[in-house]
Structure 1
Amino acid sequence: MLELLRGSLLLSNLGFHQSLSMGWQDWVSLGHFLNICLSDSVAMKGILGFQRQEDPLRPLGVRPFSSHFMGFTEHMSFLIVSDPSIAKHILKDNSKAYSKGILAEILDFVMGKGLIPADGETWRVRRRAIVPALHQKYVAKMIGLFGQATNRLCKKLDAAASDREDVEMESLFSRLTLDIIGKALFNYDFDSLKVDTGIVEAVYTVLREAENRSVAPIPVWKIPIWKDISPKLKKVNKALKLINETLDDLIATCKKMVDDEELQFHEEYVNEQDPSILHFLLASGDDVTSKQLRDDLMTMLIAGHETSAAVLTWTFYLLSTEPTVMTKLQDEVDSVLGDRYPTIEDVKKLRYTTRVINESLRLYPQPPVLIRRSLEDDILGNYPIKRGEDIFISVWNLHRSPDLWKDADTFCPERWPLDGPNPNETNQNFSYLPFGGGPRKCIGDMLATFETVVALAMLVRRFDFQLAIGAPPVSLYCNAPFILTGWIDNRGNNSHHPRFENDRYTEDKTASSSGDAAARIPQKLLSHV
């Protein structure tokens, strides 16, 4: 998923310049910035990690001087920001002076003028239309949907555990979140946990193309003749055509349903047969073209799909490394849920479960960087920038800075008090930005948190996850084998939890094992910013 190039990188900070020659494994293209730079490259750790205690640039003779850094490649220059006050200035205090810039350019082919890439009046109009759809009654309905979808995944894992099969968990989490987002957005059941249909493959084809474009050194897709001679681009365009046709059909069907229904639209309107966001927008009388609706739906599909899958993947990795946290988590889930599907009231009581997700988002934020482009001259700290400057706000750096966090690299859900507010950019002074901040903050932050909390709770209620013995170190460049072991009684509940001793699994002799399944999780997660 990551593409590496040969070349040289020029680092500049407050007048200091140093040219670095790098080989194949050390050169980093734009995609690396979009993928949290967990690279072993000392140059990259310097660019996005210069606040770290180990001072990674020192072996190269490069000394970091402040909380912003300038990088250049042959194709672009960009300012990297790792200071919460500067992040607040860009995202909130002076947000009107910044656009999505290069991000909008990369995603234009699939998102068009959707909510994430859109700027100016289009963004304001679409946000005002979409935000009311995420009301309390809709959220409560979606929590039921999250539970049903996760239960289908649990059944799939039951079979894998019984057959002692290897399971690629990242792929299953991706399919789980695709099924959820399809129903939540436009009442379409991808059913991707069971089958691979043409539309499912089309969605993944488009997602892969978006990832590829984020790391491509040359935008060959802009060459007019390229679409006619490139088999890959032909496949992408065919996939886009199928997705657009499917969305057009869904929009037409939904419009007919809205025209035929007698239910009066109101502030917390929900159609029981179709509680989707699309149905709400059409029932509200939203005056918008089908093209704009497609852009909105595709934007939310991409933004709400891979990000949630990545959060779940990293959360289970972290839990596998801290068995005491897993035990505490399972105890809370057993106490609150029992063998029921979660309700919105249950989710509010799953406070430690929520803190696990909060801490996972701190250590592995999705997205790892926020991208902006200056629309006018500005001053960031004491650093002047010109109009048209591309800026990467390193959420990764902010979330792991030892100046901002005690034991910054340690997975510790207890750092967030259970009786305190959920951490966000406001109460953490912009040192915590899992959903961005300011006017352009993710509108689905609460829904995404509930989605991952429900999935996490239902999975740990039935299964235990452990890193496989002899697994290679986890990074963005390797696959991390997991061992999934489920203890399941006749009701389908996890009635016994295993003990962990000396980082090796030891079976509780009172439990009855239904088998082991090694689950492989590729750690190559690209999030759309």
Structure 2
Amino acid sequence: MFRLNLWKIRRFLVKFGGIGRAFAKSIAVAEWKWRIRRAYKMPEATGDIRAVVGEPFFVPLYKLFLSYGGVFRLKFGPKSFVIVSDPLVAKHILKDNSKSYSKGILAEILEFVMGKGLIPADGEIWRVRRRAIVPALHRKYVVAMLDLFGRAADNLCKKLDTAANDGEDVEMESLFSRLTLDIIGKAVFNYEFDSLSNDTGIIEAVYDVLREAEARSTALIPYWNIPIVKDLFPRQRKVSASLKLINEILDDLINICKRMVEEENVQFHEEYVNERDPSILHFLLASGDDVSSKQLRDDLMTMLIAGHETSAAVLTWAFFLLAQNPEVTMKLQMEVDSVLGDRLPTIEDMKNLKYTTRVINEALRLYPQPPVLIRRSLGNDVLGQYHIKKDEDIFISVWNLHRSPHYWADADQFKPERWPVNGPNPNENTENFSYLPFGGGPRKCVGDMFATFEIVTATAMLIRRFNFELSVGAPPVGMTTGATIHTTEGLKMTVTHRIRPPVIPVMQVPMLTVVDESGLIKSYNASNGSVTVLNPAIQEGKLNQNEININE
């Protein structure tokens, strides 16, 4: 309460110009010093390192959170991390004091993959690249993408038709990865990966580099920085080959698009879309974006990996949850039947697929992608009541925030109804940092609307046509991590054609008055099936010519 009041006082003083701002600054400095003086020693988690690395790292972090609280230090070997599972502290780092934190170890981990792309970049590079990329995601572009989402999902439906006809089980995680790769290929590069039909090798290449990034985040010795030693490891040679494949594809796409832009003679404007090539790459080149080929490739690599990896993971876990909650699936199918019928979704449908969106909101709560956000302090600060110094590496556990029993009733249960369908989209809440499906603050994911519409479209179209069940005899669905949460052995499902209930037309019949055996006079409304008793006390009399006796 004390902090809140000081914040209000500072806001009030700023309105009075220079003198007011000076007083507000003095109060802020005094508050900061007071917080420093009252800071306590941060709890430190101790134990065997194998307890952390023996399973997906965010799972033991949850167990430690329950023991040590919302802010604690985790040390193993020479490495030390501050683990944050408190929404107020997360808000301080990601929003209120975001300029005092960099991507830190995340930038170091991803540098070999994404270079200075939008996710790992910091400072001025990030600001410049964000200003260049965000305008490409304008409404006209998103509308164009809805058609792409629908057609890509329809391609997956055709593939599942064959499996359903043949009675074969399918591994859905890999299919979702191929679906989202095909979408991101067209949306970002105007490139037809066609991975649902052909194995280009690009998916495995992407997974290779993501798995390597996670391995490097917890390695005690950065042996990959030693050229001679690095080449001795088969895994490193495989990662190098995967990166070479991805970069060659990106270079080819950039060159093709440059030639196309040079050939066209169209005035660029803020909602510019080339009908032949509505991709983000085309937008950036047509805008005259002054960027080096290396930076452009870094940006595209970031969009390629982050854009398809996260959406595929969300779909995987959403369908895993739906398979275990048939009552949610039935409610979802009823909404999709009502809103879409047999056509592809439009931008207007996104507003009406409310329950579908809440299902995805809830899937993202239980299986956030990514499960951890990484930052590094650029100076001294206080997190809650604990003082930290410059260059502290911080893990904000989104998994812990989303499953905390302190902030969520029935935290481990899948309940889309916890989000009112007529309420605001929880992703659009900028103050509640107990829910961070796309991050928060200035560095919140710029493609959150794109991803949400993509996932909602795919979910609606698949659920409309098929029933999904976990395959009998398949191994339990376990978790492992790359940059996102994967399954350990895939998501094996039995897919069957759904028989939709027939739509029975309502006859336009006027309200009828009838008399039953006991003599009660009733009014029957054919449009909604309601019956009203007109004479609770039995009355005598005869029906007139407009009345019909129900017993005749």
Q: TM-score, normalised by structure 1?
A: 0.82
Structure 2 regions of 5+ residues with no counterpart? 1-39, 481-487, 503-552
Please state whether the residue corresponding to 2:382 is helix, strand or coil.
Answer: strand
Distance of 2:372 and 2:246 partners within structure 1:
28
Determine the structure 1 residue equivalent to 2:500: 495
Instruction: Identify if the C-alpha distance between structure 1 residues 495 and 297 changes in structure 2 by more than 3 Å, giving closer, same or farther.
Output: same
Note if 1:46 corresponds to 2:63. Answer: yes
Contact conserved, 1:329 with 1:352, CA < 8 A, in 2?
yes
Whether contact under 8 Å (1:465, 1:482) holds in the other structure is no
Residue in structure 2 matched with residue 53 of structure 1 by the alignment: none
2:397 alignment partner in structure 1: 394
Counterparts of 1:79-478 in structure 2 under 5 Å?
79-424=82-427, 426=429, 429-469=432-472, 474-476=477-479
Q: Contact 2:202 / 2:245 at 8 angstroms: preserved in 1?
A: yes
RMSD, aligned CA? 2.2
* Deviation at residue 464 of structure 1 after TM alignment: 1.0
Describe the shift of the 1:479–1:206 C-alpha distance in structure 2 as closer, same or farther (beyond 3 A): closer
**1:20 paired residue number:** 47
Structure (1 or 2) with the greater helix fraction: 2
Q: Deviations over 1:338-397 (max 9, x none)?
A: 111111111221111001000111111111111000000000111000000011111111
How many pairs does the alignment contain? 456
Other-structure match for 2:56: 32
Once residues 149 and 211 of structure 1 are traced to their aligned partners in structure 2, the CA distance between those partners, rounded to angstroms, is 30
SS in structure 1 of the partner of residue 74 of structure 2:
strand
Q: Displacement, 1:495? A: 2.2
The answer as to whether partners of 2:177 and 2:203 remain within 8 angstroms in 1 is no
Give the whole-Å Cα distance in 1 for the aligned partners of 2:206 and 2:383.
39
TM-score relative to the length of structure 2 = 0.78
- Say which one has the larger Rg: 2
Q: Please give the alpha-carbon distance, in whole angstroms, between the structure 2 residues aligned to 1:481 and 1:247.
A: 30
Letter in 1 for 2:427: N
CA change 1:199–1:418 in 2 (3 A) is closer
Instruction: Measure the CA separation in 1 of the matches of 2:375 and 2:439.
Output: 12
SS in 2 for 1:20: coil
Contact 1:425-1:432 at 8 Å conserved across structures: no
AA matched with 2:500: S
CA–CA distance in structure 2, aligned partners of residues 443 and 414 of structure 1: 27
* Matched position secondary structure for 2:375: strand
> Structure 1 residues 73, 242: closer, same or farther in 2, change over 3 A?
same
Unpaired stretches in structure 1, ≥5 consecutive residues: 1-12, 38-42, 51-56, 58-63, 489-493, 498-529
Give the C-alpha shift of residue 157 in structure 1. 1.0
Q: Which residue of 2 aligns with 1:484?
A: 494
Among the aligned pairs, what percent are the same residue?
68
Change (3 A) 1:200 1:392: closer
Change (3 A) 1:216 1:148: farther
* Partners of 2:301 and 2:389 in 1: CA distance: 33
SS at match of 1:225: helix
1:305 Cα deviation from its structure 2 partner: 1.4
2:136–2:280 Cα contact (<8 Å) kept: yes
- 2:423 and 2:291 map into 1 onto residues whose CA distance is 41
Give deviations 1:222-281, integer Å, cap 9, x for gaps.
112134433432332233223222222211211111111122111111111111000000
Cα distance in structure 2, aligned partners of 1:80 and 1:181: 33
Mapped to 2, the partners of 1:17 and 1:242 lie a distance apart of 43
Task: Give deviations 1:77-127, integer Å, cap 9, x for gaps.
Answer: 011111111111000010010011111111100100000000000000000
Q: Does the CA-based 8 Å contact 2:161-2:497 persist in structure 1?
A: no
State whether residues 425 and 437 of structure 1, in contact with CA within 8 Å, keep that contact through their aligned partners in structure 2.
no
Q: 1:483 to 1:260 in 2, by over 3 A?
A: closer
State the distance in 2 between where 1:217 and 1:152 align: 45
SS at match of 1:167: strand
Q: How many Å apart are 1:325 and its aligned residue?
A: 0.6
Shift of 1:209: 3.0
Contact 1:373 1:389 in 2 (8 A): yes
User: Distance in 2 between the 1:213 and 1:434 partners?
Assistant: 24
Q: Which residue of 2 aligns with 1:6?
A: none
The answer (yes or no) to whether the contact 1:425–1:433 under 8 Å persists in 2 is no
Partner of 1:60: none
Q: Classify 1:417/1:68 alpha carbon distance in 2 versus 1 (closer, same or farther; 3 Å).
A: same
Q: Which moved more, 1:291-300 or 1:160-169?
A: 160-169
